[in-house]
Structure 1
Amino acid sequence: MSTDAAVRDLLLVMPRLVGRVKKIPVPEQLRGFDLAPRHLSLLSLLLLDGPVTVSELAGRLGVAPTTVSLLISDLTRKGVLVRRADDNDRRRRIVDISAASRPAISQWLSPGARAWQQALAPLSAEQQRMVVDTLLRYEQAVAG
């Protein structure tokens, strides 16, 4: 396949992909929270990886810890997240999805994670890395 043919295919599939993702309904419990894509990334990481520190979240999201702290504070006030002291270091805070919000967040975000797992499963680890790296390069190119 030529690069031009691959670009044509991607230009056709990307709008459909985005459209389908946007059609996934936000659970009733979360509708009034005005969640933005940055919230979804944070919630997805917590859903997939479990409780982590603010610093770990910041590193995984590639943003400053103060930015993550603001997001966490916003979602904690709304009852979506909870913070607790780290048992190993009482100065550090561990962040997690609240028990009350976990079912709704899982219902909402798990289908996307399962779809990626299904799409990537036939690929080798190297091929999976290539897909992720390609999407990251595309994101950078679109951002300018």
Structure 2
Amino acid sequence: MSTQSGRGGELDVDEAVRALLLLMPQLVGRAKRTPPPAELAGLALGPRHLSLLSYLLFDGPMTVNELAVRLEVAPTTVSLMVADLSRGGVVERREDPGDRRRRIVSITDAGRPAIEGWLGPAATAWREALGPLTSADRRLVVETLRAYERATSERSSPAG
């Protein structure tokens, strides 16, 4: 591995890997030090719950099937997560006025301030970090993080 910085502030692959390996524990540590609000403390929340709540907060109410597609899980998995969050009074399911067979999931009015207070600072920090970038640069950042997640997921999955 090279230890020399590239010219003009550029990084070669090894330098970038080193920088990210040093940065990732700080990012993860910061996320872990951001506990859920007291209103959610009694719920056993996992990363998928956080993603579900993020979609509902930023994109508004949606159906279980829409959430399942976005979360890349089965609708039954989303239904279970929604049931957990419903028992905690954080989300609610209501009948879709356009199709009574479908249910619309949304954050409750009572749960909204806690969710906004919990997820809002991270959203603000991402806006600050991504704001100065071009649209293409932002897409590159997001796609790079997705590729990293896929690569680490594939390596940690049991062989089938």
Q: TM-score, normalised by structure 1?
A: 0.95
Is the counterpart of residue 86 in structure 1 residue 96 in structure 2? Answer: yes
SS of alignment partner, residue 34 of structure 1: coil
Which residue, out of 50, 59, 63, partners 2:69? Answer: 59
| Counterpart residue number, 1:13 | 23
Give, as a single letter, the amino acid of the residue that structure 1 aligns with 2:72.
G
Q: Deviations over 1:64-91 (max 9, x none)?
A: 1111111111111221110111121121
CA offset at residue 135 of structure 1?
A: 0.6
Residue 116 of structure 2 is aligned to residue 109 of structure 1: no
| Mapping for residues 7-46 of structure 1, pairs under 5 Å | 7-46=17-56
SS state at 1:90 partner:
strand
**RMSD, aligned α-carbons:** 1.0
Matched residues in 2 for 1:26 and 1:75: separation?
A: 13
Q: Is the 8 A contact 2:56 2:106 kept in 1?
A: yes
What percentage of aligned pairs have identical amino acids? 60
- Using the size of structure 2 for normalisation, the TM-score is 0.86
Secondary structure of the residue that 2:52 maps to in structure 1?
A: helix
Gaps of 5+ in 2: 1-10, 156-160
- Where relative contact order (Cα < 8 A, 6+ residues apart) is larger, the structure is 1
Tell me the matched-pair count. 144
Question: Equivalents in 1 of 2:23, 2:84: separation in Å?
Answer: 34
Report which of the two structures shows the higher radius of gyration computed on alpha carbons: 2
